[in-house]
Each structure stands twice: as structure tokens, then as C-alpha cells.
Structure 1
Amino acid sequence: MALMLSATVLRAEMPVNPGKPFAETFLLLQLSDGDPEKQDMVLSVAGNLLEHYQPDLVDIEITTFGPGVRLLYADNDRRELIKSLMAQGVRFSVCMNTIDTIERGTGNRPELIPDILRVPVGVAHILERIDQGYVLVRP
């Protein structure tokens, strides 16, 4: 019975993503910097990891907050690369607290790339993913 219990405990510690049922590696990339070079680096890391692990074996999410949300603006010139990564299963999440703050400060709500995950608070989302077993990387 102890063997069955420990196998259940081990299985419960692994993140579960129905969209990536064969994933063995679970990675969360944080982007809180609006610098275009930093944006390029995060997208490059995601692409390199897809090649290294194969898209079905790695679950990657890029979470943005603060100035990093600019990556997910609809008019970002990296939009096609983002769409390509999304087609390979990379998820993108944006902090809506940051978007609300931008809207209050400028009077305009930025248009975001469709099909991204909108989370209430980016940092809280990161903490939740870490609790689920994702490894956080801040390139």
C-alpha cells in the first residue's frame, strides 16, 4: 500500500496541462521588462526550448507584467513570431492589473493579441504556477 501511495504522491506533484498531455518539462518564462532586446531574448529562449525538448514534451508559458506587457500588444512587430510559438503550444499570459493601470494612466486600453491568457495579477499567477510545479526562468 505504501508503494501505491508514494506513486500517487509523485504523480500529484507533476503539473497537468490537458493541452500538453505528454509534457515532461514545465517552464514559466517571466517578462517584466519592456526592452525590445529582452522581449527577443524571451521569445528566443522559448523557441530554443521547443527545439531542444520537442514541442510535445515541454510545456512553456510566458507571463508578462509591468512594462513586459508591451510584448503582447496587438501592434507589436513580434506578433507573427508569437503566433508561431502559440501554434507550437506556447502559452502567453498578461497581467490585467498592469493593463488596467495603463488604461487609468493614459485613458486608452491597449489592444492585445487575441488568444492570450488574461490573468488578474501577473505575479500571483507566477506564484500559482510555481506551486503547480512549473520552473520559473527570468531571462
Structure 2
Amino acid sequence: MRFLLFPLLMLVAASAYAADAHRIVLHVDEADAARQNLVLNNASNINKYYLDKGEEVEVEIVAYGPGLTMLVPGKSPVGDRVTSIKQNYDNVSFKACSNTLAKMSAKAGKDVKLMAEAEMVPSGVIHLVERQEQGWSYIRP
């Protein structure tokens, strides 16, 4: 009986958190500057909307494939915006796909460095799947 109670309590706790905070995950898989700016606009607009209402929100931007250029210094067409968003909003984070980074590094013949704002995840796609399974709202701009 005790073993059944713990998962039930975890489900109730997760439901309570979901009711109190909005959790949104956006993905970017294109190197296109317009698409990357659209993702950043969405993140900023989502953040402003909920914060103006006095509601909690957490936003993650997951970059993989060609979209990882968003987080590569010197190659990012939106690097200044990434830095500005991270400096101004502690509830917005940038996740970078380790699989893509390894392929980029192999192709370049050297380690590709990411911006300090990037947090590594093992796989961008798997991270998106897991977030959706955890109840996060998924947006693909």
C-alpha cells in the first residue's frame, strides 16, 4: 500500500505545480535568422504576457540540428538577443543538443564552443519528448 501512495502523491504534486506555473518549451532546428528571431520573439512575448498577469512561467528554448547555430558564438545571427534575454529573464533557458554539438565538432575537426547561456542536454529531440510527457506546452514556431 505504501508503494502505491508515493506515485499518487507525486502525481498530485505535479498537478499542483502545473496549475501554478506555465511551462513552455520551444524548439528551433533551423539556422535561419528569421526563424531564430521568431523563436526569441515567442519566448519574450510569452514571458511578458504571463508576468504582466502576475503568473509564473518557465520557458525553455531547445536548439538542435542546424538550429544549434543560435548558440554558437560568431555564427549565431541572434547571439546578442540570446545574451540579452538570459540577462533579463531568469525564467528563460537555452538547451543545446549534445548529439548535434558532437557532430558539429567532428565536422569542424575541433571542439565547437557554445555561448555561456547554453545548457547541454543529451538529445534535443528526447528533451522535447520528455518535457511534453511532463506536461509542458510544446511550441514549434
Q: TM tier, shorter chain? A: 0.7 to 0.9
Between 1:107-116 and 1:122-131, the stretch displaced more is 107-116
Q: More helix by proportion, 1 or 2? A: 2
- Segments of 5+ residues of structure 1 without an aligned counterpart are 1-5, 17-21
Q: Give me the identity figure in percent.
A: 27
Aligned-residue offset at 1:54: 0.9
TM-score by length of 2: 0.80
Structure 1 residues 23 and 50 mapped into 2: Cα distance closer, same or farther (>3 Å)? farther
Q: Which runs of 5+ in 2 are unaligned?
A: 1-7
For 1:128, give the aligned amino acid.
Answer: E
The number of residue pairs the alignment matches comes to: 129
Q: Is the 8 A contact 1:27 1:136 kept in 2?
A: yes
Q: What TM-score do the two structures reach when normalised by structure 1? A: 0.81
Structure 1 runs of 4+ aligned residues shifted over 6 Å read none
1:84-103 to 2 correspondences below 5 Å = 84-87=84-87, 88=89, 89-103=91-105
1:57-136 correspondence runs (5 A): 57-75=56-74, 76-87=76-87, 88=89, 89-136=91-138
Shift of 1:38: 0.3
Over aligned residue pairs, what C-alpha RMSD do you find? 2.4
